[in-house]
Amino acid sequence: KQEVTQIPAALSVPEGENLVLNCSFTDSAIYNLQWFRQDPGKGLTSLLLIQSSQREQTSGRLNASLDKSSGRSTLYIAASQPGDSATYLCAVPLRTGANSKLTFGKGITLSVRP
């Protein structure tokens, strides 16, 4: 059974700091890995999706890496801003298929202090 872990559960940093959010998974046979952002009481917004054949993806100030062999992914946020405050979740689908169900980590709640 796939398990996705995100530690720590919460993180507080001053504005402008570069930071890394970690995600680990137990079954390395993943199709891809996706990072989401969730604002309080809201749905999820997809940030980055890394295919199993890729090592990283970038979008603006965000960079996500994937190391399947070690079962790890990181989300790097450059020059953090108060607007980045949210919960960040990583998720993996099991095996192949465009419609695979996702297993989520519990998320990391990020607070960026002005």
Partner 1 sequence: GAVVSQHPSWVICKSGTSVKIECRSLDFQATTMFWYRQFPKQSLMLMATSNEGSKATYEQGVEKDKFLINHASLTLSTLTVTSAHPEDSSFYICSASKGGTGNTIYFGEGSWLTVV
Residue ranges in contact with partner 1 by CB under 8 A? 31-32, 34, 36, 41-46, 49, 89, 91, 93, 98-107
Of 46 and 70, the one with the shorter C-beta distance to partner 1 is 46
Residue 100 Cβ, how far from partner 1 at the closest point, in Å? 8
Q: How far apart are CA 73 and CA 24, in angstroms?
A: 6
The enclosing H or E element of 51 equals strand 44-51
Residue 107 Cβ, how far from partner 1 at the closest point, in Å? 6
**Over the range 7-28, which residues count as b (16 or more CB within 10 Å of their CB) and which as e?**
eeeebebeeeeebebebbbeee
Of 14 and 35, the one with the shorter C-beta distance to partner 1 is 35
Residue 18 Cβ, how far from partner 1 at the closest point, in Å? 26
